[in-house]
């Protein structure tokens, strides 16, 4: 049975549990992640709702989702937890605590894993959290301190309040199945895509929007046949000859090696100029462990 004293420390515990339920979409998964019994998680959420006088979570087809009041609290909860962790880092010189990274899906899947594995060996007492999202959500999260760092993939980004480090440049390619007429060309002009069915990422994706802008600039009406929120769906659709994709090269290395897909560069600027970028607040105090995280991100995978 959970003990519920009325103090700020316990409120932070409730808020951390609330954020974990929102992130996982489930009381059960949140309990597993936090090491609590499910009844303890339920009790903490109930207590939090009593404290704020509002229902914070509700069931939906996707599991537990925040209500309007819950979404409002979530923003403040993440800021409060971030400030608490920052205070702990300053006092402990960053040897323990939590580090939160906002990241687009492609980087969370293909860029981060090896680097986070190496970082965890150096800092086993720091809990790592990766929050997937769109570029705009990631930038907003870094600004409001719900994320310590952000990873984006775009043309060079600049901001007065954010530090931006370019980690590496990556080329974008037209991805086709091996038997496609464009599969063995040395390069592809965007005009060649005029009649091609496109299998693309969601409409918040920077390189998707870049391709569509380039096509419209040439007077081409893009044929967007399918949209997927995940890369595996896009790659499977291309393999099944449902259309062609436009993706960073690092996302299809395995499939290229097995001969399941073909990647052809774009002859114009449409496939170049994008880079992986690490962002964080300029006024962010950087503990030694945070500086080491930056160094790890700047190193080779």
CATH code of 290's domain: 3.40.190.10
Neighbours of 79 (CB within 10 A): 14
> Is 283's pLDDT higher than 60?
yes
- The domain boundary, picked from 54, 74, 91, lies at 91
The overall average pLDDT reported for the chain is 88
* E strand map for 113-248: 126-132, 149-154, 162-169, 172-176, 197-200, 223-227, 245-248
Q: Interhelix angle for 288-298 vs 112-122, to 10°? A: 140
> Is 122's pLDDT higher than 90?
no
Q: Comparing 1-5, 26-30, 107-111, 242-246, which segment has the lowest mean pLDDT?
A: 1-5
What is the distance between the alpha carbons of residues 29 and 33, in angstroms, rounded to a whole number?
A: 6
Asked if residue 126 and residue 206 are part of one domain, the reply reads no
Q: Give the confidence band of 212 by pLDDT, cuts at 50, 70, 90.
A: very high
Q: Give the confidence band of 89 by pLDDT, cuts at 50, 70, 90.
A: low
What is the distance between the alpha carbons of residues 37 and 16, in angstroms, rounded to a whole number?
A: 15
Q: Comparing 10-14, 92-96, 274-278, which segment has the lowest mean pLDDT?
A: 92-96
Q: Say which DSSP state 144 is in.
A: T
Asked if residue 188 and residue 267 are part of one domain, the reply reads yes
Asked if residue 279 and residue 164 are part of one domain, the reply reads yes
- The domain boundary, picked from 48, 73, 91, lies at 91
Asked if residue 289 and residue 250 are part of one domain, the reply reads no
- Beta carbons within 8 Å of 81's beta carbon, 6+ residues apart: 12, 15, 16, 19, 98
167 versus 4: which is more confidently predicted? 167
SS3 state at 300: coil
Summarize the confidence of residues 219-227 as an average pLDDT. 93
| Measured CA distances, 271 to 99, 102, 192, 248 (Å) | 33, 24, 14, 8
Q: Give the confidence band of 68 by pLDDT, cuts at 50, 70, 90.
A: very high
Considering the entire predicted model, what is its pTM? 0.67
124 CB-side CA count, 13 A: 1
152 versus 229: which is more confidently predicted? 152
Q: Give the confidence band of 54 by pLDDT, cuts at 50, 70, 90.
A: very high
Q: How many domains does the chain have?
A: 3
- The domain boundary, picked from 91, 118, 151, lies at 91
Q: Comparing 5-19, 44-58, 202-216, 287-301, which segment has the lowest mean pLDDT?
A: 5-19
**Assigned domain for 280 exists:** yes
For residue range 233-254, what is the model confidence (pLDDT) as tens digits?
999 999 999 999 999 988 999 9
- Percentage of the chain surpassing pLDDT 90? 58
Q: Give the confidence band of 3 by pLDDT, cuts at 50, 70, 90.
A: very low
Asked if residue 263 and residue 183 are part of one domain, the reply reads yes
pLDDT at 288: 81
Q: Give the confidence band of 5 by pLDDT, cuts at 50, 70, 90.
A: very low
202 CB-side CA count, 13 A: 9
Cα-flanking dihedrals φ and ψ of residue 196, to 5°? Answer: -85, 135
Q: Which structural domain, as residue segments, surrounds residue 52?
A: 7-91
Can you give the three-state secondary structure of 214-243, one letter per residue?
Answer: HHHHCCCCCEEEEECCCHHHHHHHHHCCCC
CA angle (34, 36, 37) in 5-degree steps: 145
């Amino acid at each position: 049975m959970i003990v519920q004293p009325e103090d700020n420390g316990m409120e932070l515990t409730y808020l951390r549990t609330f954020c974990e339920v929102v992130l996982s979409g489930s009381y059960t998964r949140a309990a597993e992640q936090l090491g609590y019994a499910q009844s303890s998680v339920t009790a903490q959420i109930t207590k939090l709702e009593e404290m704020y006088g509002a229902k914070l979570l509700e069931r939906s087809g996707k599991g537990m989702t925040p209500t309007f009041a819950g979404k409002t609290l979530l923003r403040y909860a993440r800021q409060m937890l971030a400030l608490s962790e920052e205070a702990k880092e300053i006092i402990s010189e960053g040897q323990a605590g939590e580090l939160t990274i906002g990241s687009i899906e492609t980087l969370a899947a293909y860029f981060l894993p090896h680097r986070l594995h190496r970082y965890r060996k150096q800092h086993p007492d720091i809990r790592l959290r990766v929050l997937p999202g769109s570029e705009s959500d990631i930038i907003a999260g870094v600004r409001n301190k719900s994320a310590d760092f952000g990873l984006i993939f775009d043309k060079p980004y600049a901001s007065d309040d954010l530090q931006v480090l370019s980690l590496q440049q990556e080329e974008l390619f037209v991805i086709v199945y091996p038997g496609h007429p464009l599969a063995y060309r040395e390069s592809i002009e965007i005009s060649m895509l005029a009649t091609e069915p496109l299998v693309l990422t969601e409409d918040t994706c920077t390189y998707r929007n870049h391709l569509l802008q380039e096509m419209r600039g040439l007077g081409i009406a893009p044929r967007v046949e399918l949209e997927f929120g995940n890369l595996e769906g896009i790659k499977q659709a291309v393999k099944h000859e449902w259309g062609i994709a436009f993706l960073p090269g690092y996302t299809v290395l395995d499939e290229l090696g097995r001969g399941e897909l073909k990647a052809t560069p774009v002859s114009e600027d449409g496939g170049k100029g994008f880079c992986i970028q690490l962002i964080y607040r300029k006024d962010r105090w950087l503990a030694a462990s945070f500086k080491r995280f930056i160094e790890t991100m700047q190193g080779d995978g």
